[in-house]
Structure 1
Amino acid sequence: MIRIGLNGFGRIGRTLTRILRQVNDLELVMINDVNPFVENMAYLLRYDSTYGKFDGTIDVGPSSIEINGKSVAYNAEACIEKAPWAEAGVDLIIDASGVTRNVTGARELTESGKVKKVVVTHSSEYVDKEIVMGVNDSTLTPADKIVSNSICDANAIAHVLHWIDGQYTIRSGSVTTLHPWLSYQNITDGPSISQSNPGCVWKDFALGRASVGCVIPKNTTAVTAVEKILPGIKGKLHSFSYRIPTDVVASSDIVIWTQDVPSPEEFRRFLDERLARSPYVRANTESLVSQDYEREEASAIIDMQWTGMVNGTMKLILWYDNEWGYSCRVLDLARRIGGLQ
C-alpha cells in the first residue's frame, strides 16, 4: 500500500480523490491546498458540476475531510515543503497545484527524506524525468525521485506518434487540439493570469477573452511536451490549439506524412494491431460526441470513423477525458515509481 499525499485540490486533485476511493493499492492520507477553508474543499468534492455528486459520504473534521468515514488530514500551506507530509506518513506526493515553484520545493522534501517520491501533473524542466505511461516508462529507475506525468494532450497523442514514427518514420505533420476551458480562464473579458507562475499575465491577450461562448485560438505545448518523450520527432510537427466552451473531454486532430508510405489498408491493419496490444489506447467505431467520452479511463480513444489515409496523408482523430483519463495515468505512474526501490 502506497500512502498518497495530494498537493493542490483543484480539478485534477479532486478527480484523483474520486478515483482513489475505488482502488485498494493506494491510500489517500493527506491533502494540502492554499484554501484554508476545509469546508469549502469538502463541498467542492461532494458536489461537482462536471462529474456529479460524490457517490459516498463527505464530512468535515477539525483539520480533515472524512471520505466514506475515513479521515484524510487537511492542511493549507502555500509552499509544498512547509506542509507536514512526514508527520502524516506520506510515501508519495502528487503535486497537482500546477505551480512551478512547488516542483522546486518538492526537491527539498525528497533530498531530506521527508517523502520518497513526487509525481507532478504538468510538464516541467525541474523534474528528474518526464513520462507518458506506455511510451517511455521503461526508462524509469530508482534514482528518479520527482517525475512528471506530462500533460493530458501529450498522454493522448504520444502513443500514436510513437507507433507511427517507429514503423514508418514521421517526416512532418501537424497537431490541432480542441481543449475545454480551464479554471484560470475568464467568464467575461479580462487579462489572463498564469496559474503556473502566479502574478504573470499571458501576453496572448485572446486567452483572456470570455471562455463561455468563444472558441479561442492559442498556442499549445502539446508537441513540445511530446518532444521530451519522443526526441526523435523534434522539429517535425506544427501544433495549434483551440480553447472551446465545454467543461471536459478534449480532441486532437493529427495529420502526418511519413517517409515510408503504407497503403490505407495496411495503415488500418497496423493501427488495429497496435491497439490490440495497448492497455492505454482504444478504438471507437460508433458515431459519438464529446460527452460520450466522459469518465473514459483510456489515455486516448482513436475515432476510427474519421481516421484513415488519402494520397499518403495520414489523418487521426483522438478523444480523451482531459481530467479523468489523465488522472488515471497519474495514479498508474504513482504505482510505477512507488514500487521502484
Structure 2
Amino acid sequence: MNLKVLINGAGRIGKAILKQLLENKDFEIVAINDINPYINNIVYSINYDSTYGKLEDKFRIVENSYIQNSKSKIKILNYSSLMDIDLKGIDIIIDASGKKEDIKSLEKLPLKAIFLTHPNKDAHINLILGVNENKLDINIHKVISTSSCNATSLLPALKLIDEKKEIIFGDIVTIHPLLNHQRVLDGNYVKSDTRDVDLNFEFGRSSTQNIIPSHTTTIKACSYVIEKFNSELISSNSLRVPTDTVGAINVTLFTKQASTKDEIKNLFIDFEKNQKFPIVLNNFEALVSSDFKKEKYTTIVDHRYLEVKNNMIKLLLWYDNEWGYASKVVEILKLFR
C-alpha cells in the first residue's frame, strides 16, 4: 500500500520534491499546505518553472480546492501551522516551509514521520545519505531532519577522507546560487525568518549584479550529523552568486596522514562503484555549473581541480541545491516504505 504524503510549503524545494514524488508509485501526495492563499498562483507555479522548465502533464484547479492532472488529485490547504490541519489519512509530512515548528508539538502529531528540509539540532535525527543512514530507526525516529543542500554535498566527502586519513583541520567556501530572500535590485537589508539569515547590509544589495559574501551554516549542519565536523575543526564562509541553481564547495583539508593524488582519486572512484544511493559522482570532463542542473548525484567531485600536497587535500564539489537536494529527501523517504 502506498504512503499518503502531505507537503508543507510549495516553494522551491517543496515543488522539486512534489515533481519527483509524482513519478513514484509508492507514494501518493494527497495534500499541499501553503500560506499562499491563491490556489491559481500555486498551480501556475507548479506548472511553469523558469529553472527546470514547464510541467508537461499540467495541473488544473478542480472542485475549488483541488488541483488535478492525468495521474494525481491533490488537496490544497492554507494553514499557517501544521497543528491546525486535520491529518486523518496522512502518513507522512514533508515540511519544506522552512518554518521552525516546536519539535515536542510535532512529536504528538498522528503520523509515521515528519521530514524537515532544514537542519534542526532538536530533531530525532539529522540524516544525510552516505553518512549516517544506518543509524535511522523508523520505530524511534519520527521527526527527521534531511539537513541542508550544502551539508548533503559536503559531509559524505569529509567522512570518506576522515576515515582514511583523519582530518585535523580545514576550511570550506560555498559558492551558492541566489535565493528568494535576496533582493533583485538594491534595497534595504534583508532578514529571513526561515533561514537563520542575520540582518546585514550585503543581503540588501542586488543579487543579480553582485557576488555577495556571507556566513554559512553548512558546518553547523554537519555537526548535527557527526559532532566532530564542527566550526572548531573546519572554518567556513559563503559567496552568493547570480546563478539560478547548482552550487559548488571549495574544500581545503589538512590530514594526519599524508596522501597522494591517486589515493584520493581512487577513494572516490571506489565509493561511486559500491554506493547504495546516488551520492558520489566523479567528473573528469570540462563542465560548468549548468551541466549539473537536475543532477541527482549530490557529491560531484571535479577531479580536474583535485590537488594533493602531502597532508593537504583540495576538492571542488558540485551539487544541484534544489533538484539534487530534493532527490535525497525522496531517497530518505523511500526508507519508510
Same fold (TM over 0.5): yes
- Name the amino acid aligned to 1:161: L
Match of 2:146 in 1: 149
> How far apart are the structure 2 equivalents of 1:6 and 1:201?
24
Match of 1:29 in 2: 30
> How far apart are the structure 2 equivalents of 1:320 and 1:55?
25
Alpha-carbon distance change, 184 to 226 in structure 1, aligned in 2, over 3 angstroms:
same
> How far apart are the structure 2 equivalents of 1:13 and 1:112?
20
**CA distances 1:211-268 after superposition (whole Å, capped 9, x unpaired):** 1111000000111111221212332111110011011000001011100112222222
Q: Tell me if 1:220 matches 2:216.
A: yes
Please give the root-mean-square deviation of Cα atoms over the aligned residues, in Å.
1.6
For residue 254 of structure 1, the aligned residue among 251, 254, 273 is: 251
Match of 2:203 in 1: 207
> How far apart are the structure 1 equivalents of 2:104 and 2:5?
17
> How far apart are the structure 2 equivalents of 1:195 and 1:281?
32
> How far apart are the structure 1 equivalents of 2:146 and 2:197?
25
> How far apart are the structure 2 equivalents of 1:271 and 1:12?
28
Q: Do the aligned partners of 2:106 and 2:143 also contact (CA within 8 Å) in 1?
A: no
SS in 1 for 2:74: strand
How many equivalent pairs are there? 330
- Name the amino acid aligned to 1:18: K
Match of 1:172 in 2: 169
Alpha-carbon distance change, 184 to 272 in structure 1, aligned in 2, over 3 angstroms:
same
SS in 1 for 2:41: helix
Q: Do the aligned partners of 2:259 and 2:309 also contact (CA within 8 Å) in 1?
A: no
5+ residue gaps, structure 1: none
Displaced runs of 4 or more, over 4 A: none
> How far apart are the structure 1 equivalents of 2:332 and 2:282?
23
SS in 2 for 1:233: coil
**CA distances 1:139-193 after superposition (whole Å, capped 9, x unpaired):** 1121111000000000000001000111110011111100001111111222212
SS in 1 for 2:93: strand
- Name the amino acid aligned to 1:30: A
- Name the amino acid aligned to 2:20: I
> How far apart are the structure 2 equivalents of 1:41 and 1:48?
12
SS in 2 for 1:213: coil
Name the stretch that deviates more: 278-287 or 6-15.
278-287
Q: Do the aligned partners of 2:259 and 2:308 also contact (CA within 8 Å) in 1?
A: no
> How far apart are the structure 2 equivalents of 1:121 and 1:308?
33
Match of 1:63 in 2: 65
> How far apart are the structure 1 equivalents of 2:262 and 2:194?
44
Question: Normalising by the residue count of structure 1, what TM-score does the alignment of the two structures yield?
Answer: 0.93
> How far apart are the structure 2 equivalents of 1:157 and 1:325?
13
Question: Normalising by the residue count of structure 2, what TM-score does the alignment of the two structures yield?
Answer: 0.94
> How far apart are the structure 1 equivalents of 2:109 and 2:72?
29
5+ residue gaps, structure 2: none
- Name the amino acid aligned to 1:8: G
Q: Do the aligned partners of 2:202 and 2:212 also contact (CA within 8 Å) in 1?
A: yes
SS in 2 for 1:231: coil
> How far apart are the structure 2 equivalents of 1:24 and 1:173?
43
